[in-house]
Amino acid sequence: MSADARIEAITARIVERSKPFREPYLDRVRAAVSKGVHRSVLGCGNLAHGFAVCSPAEKTALAGDRVPNLGIITSYNDMLSAHQPFETYPALIRQAAHEAGGVAQVAGGVPAMCDGVTQGQPGMELSLFSRDLIAMAAGVGLSHNMFDAIVYLGVCDKIVPGLTIAALTFGHLPAVFIPAGPMTSGLPNDEKARVRQLFAEGKVGRDELLDAESKSYHGPGTCTFYGTANSNQMLMEIMGFHMPGASFVNPGTPLRDALTKEASKRALAITAQGNEFTPAGEMIDERSIVNGVVGLHATGGSTNHTMHLIAMARAAGIVLTWQDISELSDIVPLLARVYPNGLADVNHFHAAGGMGFLIKELLKAGYLHDDVRTVYGQGLHAYTIEPRLGGDGNVHREPAPHVSHDPKVLASIEHPFQHTGGLKMLSGNLGKAVIKTSAVKPERHVIEAPAKVFHDQAELNAAFKAGELEGDFIAVVRFQGPKANGMPELHKLTTVLGILQDRGQTVALLTDGRMSGASGKVPAAIHVTPEAIDGGPIARIRDGDLIRLDAVGGTIDVLVEAAAFAARTPATADLSANEFGMGRELFASFRAIAGPADQGASVLFA
Ligand SMILES: O=C(O)[C@H](O)[C@@H](O)[C@H](O)[C@H](O)COP(=O)(O)O
Ligand code: SF4
């Protein structure tokens, strides 16, 4: 079934806009592919170094270019609960490769930051930049030029976007993403948030808070809210980088291991040495990117992907804009209610029918391009399945359920939770911004209130503790953009603003910084561009200015006479404390050259 005409039109517009970048990109990919097995251009010395620790049989096979060599890029560390399971994956992948008559080697590792550990801490100011650093680090591993296909082991926020940028930069190679799966359900996310608010109000102590947090984040796997990490899994599946059904199977289960082995064998099957060659740079095209945006809207995905997906697409010469994302938001309905967009978690989503049911419903209505290439073959309809462990220990796939197993978590296309998507773009005399509407009650989609201006989140928290945050207001937290301090997530503000909102105050947030994909119920216009340090209008706002945030009309304005507002001298901020400490001194060049949020806030692309 072809896609909805409006979706087709937006896709065609992206194709046209991208031509100056996409055509040279594809020329480079095809030129690289034409060189054949890249290992064959290495000299004997290079090759000897490259397979020094392989077995004699593997050396003979690799030297003769007779068998494919699978590169592994891993982001394993013990800091991220979602990445800790990757410790054992290389051995499993090597075993699968051997069974498939190939070889597998870890090409390199990449850093991975846990935004939960750094949330509200100085380290968070490295978080966004770590995405591009991950792409660069993966490039270092791949530059050994020993490989015929790559498997990427990554899950969380900046890691999958960084790895995708690398995979598309090395677009002449097939790329299969292998996830680790979600943590099993613990203390529900809304109960965790409730205890946080009680702690912030001094009603419970640190012991009770740590107990609640530890019952929520309690073991291996991705945190169970629908934040950036789980949005990543959705994207990798709907864009065709995952094997069908791979996203939300828990770690440490036989099915998880079977999916990992299957993905490894599939990667070896789609190299140039086989009959289904699927280089990543050809597999991913404008339709794949549009499918990713559609998935974001349909699931209420992370606001961070209004930057990451733009940078990911750009790595393949595809120019995606906030306008494209906004127009798709007006077309695509919201079909999932997973925290913060509801009370369920990703395990409930998966049990209700998961990605297979979601893709089936969206394809049925023409909201997705079915005619796309994936690591599994041609056509997205192959992903309308549920994975099962067969008696033979392999993955078997059954058709996705005809109806959702839990319509309160996963809705049918006929009865969506919202007729528009979860992400909305705003524009007005304050520039451009993003808001996640799927997590905000409709009565809070339009807010008009006076500004209270802060230059960092600590100032706002101090004002809360001093009882100064009375009445209705829009908190303007500025000098939080990529060039100012690396554009940290300000997710800790959700607790304080949530308390005030629960008390009946009308509050909202306006910032050139970011929020977590897990941020929710308080209306927040984020990623304001141009940022304050670039002299953006946000720098001219003064305490008491009336601001109007309209997520229905898609506008963000300060209600001050235009000439008077323009005549104001922009505020400045002392950011010297953000230049040193916790490694921030290492990222001065990134702050200096980072692009604007609406172009992905990247240091990699002009
Ligand atoms: O974008 C995201 O999804 C967030 O960065 C998320 O990965 C982060 O870890 C949150 O901070 C977790 O939520 P809490 O901070 O509420 O635990
Ligand atoms: S989802 Fe966020 S908090 Fe959880 S492991 Fe990943 S980065 Fe850390």
Q: Give the residue, by CA position, lying nearest to ligand 1 atom 9.
A: 116
Q: Which region holds residue 179: left if phi is over 0, alpha if psi is between -120 and 50, else beta?
A: beta
Q: How many residues does the chain have?
A: 606
- Could you tell me which of 367, 409, 50, 358 has the C-alpha nearest to residue 224? 409
What is the distance in A from the centroid of ligand 2 to the CA of 10?
A: 33
Q: 25-43 pLDDT, tens per residue?
A: 999 999 999 988 788 888 8
Atom of ligand 2 at shortest range from CA of 156? 6
Calculate mean pLDDT across residues 373-383.
98
Lowest pLDDT segment from 52-66, 144-158, 271-285, 451-465: 52-66
For residue 65, the model assigns a pLDDT of: 80
Assign 3-class secondary structure to 14-71.
Answer: HHHHHHHHHHHHHHHHHHHHHCCCHHHHCCHHHHHHHCCCCCHHHHHHHHCCCCCEEE
Confidence band, pLDDT 50/70/90 cuts, at residue 422: confident
Tell me what percent of the residues of the chain surpass a pLDDT of 90: 93
Query: What are the tens digits of pLDDT across the range 107-131?
Result: 999 999 999 999 999 999 999 999 9
Average pLDDT of 321-335? 96
Ligand 2: list residues with CB < 6 Å.
80-82, 114-116, 156-157, 222-223, 227, 229
For residue 155, the ligand closest to its alpha carbon is 2
Report CA torsion sign: 448, 450, 456, 457.
Answer: negative
Which ligand is the nearest neighbour of the Cα of 180? 2
- Upstream peptide bond of 340 is cis (omega within 30 degrees of 0): yes
Q: Which of 288, 402, 287 is nearest to 353 (CA)?
A: 402
Checking if the pLDDT of 91 tops 80, the result is yes
Residue located nearest, by CA, to atom 11 of ligand 1 = 116
User: How much is the ipTM here?
Assistant: 0.97
- Alpha carbon distance 491, 494 (integer Å): 6
> From ligand 1's centre to the CA of 117, what distance in Å?
9
pLDDT at 66 over 90: no
Q: Which residue owns the Cα nearest ligand 1 atom 17?
A: 116
Find out whether 226 and 346 touch, Cβ atoms under 8 Å.
yes
List, for residues 70-79, the tens digit of each pLDDT value: 999 999 999 9
At 302, the pLDDT band (50, 70, 90 cuts) reads: very high
Whether the pTM exceeds 0.80: the reply is yes
The two three-digit tokens of residue 594, written as one number: 């980072």
- What span, in angstroms and rounded, lies between the C-alpha atoms of 382 and 4? 19
Which residue's CA is the nearest one to ligand 2's atom 3?
116
pLDDT in tens, 513-560: 999 988 889 999 999 999 999 999 999 999 999 999 999 999 999 999
What pLDDT shows up at residue 138? 98
Which pLDDT value is given to residue 3? Answer: 77
Pair type for strands 395-399 and 385-389: antiparallel
Tell me how far apart the alpha carbons of residues 299 and 153 are, in angstroms, rounded to a whole number.
23
Q: CA 470, 529, 165, 319 torsion: positive or negative?
A: positive
Q: Tell me how far apart the alpha carbons of residues 528 and 512 are, in angstroms, rounded to a whole number.
A: 4
Nearest CA to ligand 1 atom 12: 116
The set of residues, in sequence order, having a beta carbon less than 8 Å from that of 547 and lying 6+ positions away, is 430, 448, 449, 450, 451, 474, 476, 510, 541, 556, 557, 558, 559
Give 423-447 pLDDT, tens digit per residue.
999 999 999 999 998 889 999 999 9
| Closest ligand to Cα 160 | 2
Mutation pick for ligand 1 pocket among 81, 83, 115 (CB with most ligand atoms within 8 Å): 115
Short-list 342, 247, 234, CA closest to 296:
234
3-state secondary structure of 602: coil
Ligand 2 atom closest to 157 (CA): 7
* Atom of ligand 1 minimally distant from the CA of 489: 5
Ligand 2 centroid to Cα of residue 116, in Å, is: 5
Give residue 58 CA to ligand 1 midpoint distance, Å: 43
Q: What is the mean pLDDT of residues 370-393?
A: 97
Q: At what angle do helices 457-465 and 493-502 cross, to 10 degrees?
A: 40
* 366-384: average pLDDT: 98
Q: Does pLDDT of 134 surpass 90?
A: yes
Per-residue pLDDT band for 194 (boundaries 50, 70, 90) equals very high
- The whole-chain average pLDDT of the chain stands at 96
Tokens encoding 309: 């997906």
Q: What is the pLDDT of residue 325?
A: 97
* For residues 367-385, average pLDDT: 98
Average pLDDT over residues 232-256: 98
3-state SS assignment for residue 200? helix
Which of the ligands is closest to the CA of residue 124? 1
- Among 128, 156, 158, the mutation site with the greatest number of ligand 2 atoms within 8 A of its Cβ is 156
424 vs 436: CA distance, rounded Å: 6
Which of 491, 492, 495, 496 to mutate for ligand 1's pocket (most ligand atoms within 8 Å of CB)?
491
Considering only CA atoms, which residue is closest to atom 4 of ligand 2?
Answer: 223
Instruction: Provide the phi-psi class of 486: left if phi over 0, else alpha when psi is between -120 and 50, else beta.
Output: left
pLDDT band at 1 (very low <50, low <70, confident <90, very high): low
Euclidean distance between CA atoms 478 and 429, whole angstroms: 16
Quickly state the pLDDT bin for 61 (edges 50, 70, 90).
Answer: confident
Of all protein residues, whose CA lies closest to atom 7 belonging to ligand 2?
Answer: 114
Binding site membership for [4Fe-4S] cluster: which residues?
A: 156, 223
Average pLDDT over residues 372-387: 98
Q: What integer pLDDT is reported at residue 471 of this predicted model?
A: 97
Q: Whose CA is nearest to atom 1 of ligand 2?
A: 223
Of 83, 212, 217, 74, nearest in space to 157 by CA: 83
Closest ligand, as measured to the CA of 119? 1
Contact 454, 460 (CB under 8 A): yes
Mean pLDDT, rounded, for 484-511: 96
Q: Detail the residues annotated as belonging to a binding site.
A: 156, 223
Contact between 541 and 509 (Cβ < 8 Å): no
| Pocket (CB within 6 angstroms of ligand 1) | 115-116, 119, 157, 227-229, 302, 304, 489, 491, 516-518
What separation in Å is there between the alpha carbon of 272 and the centre of ligand 1? Answer: 39
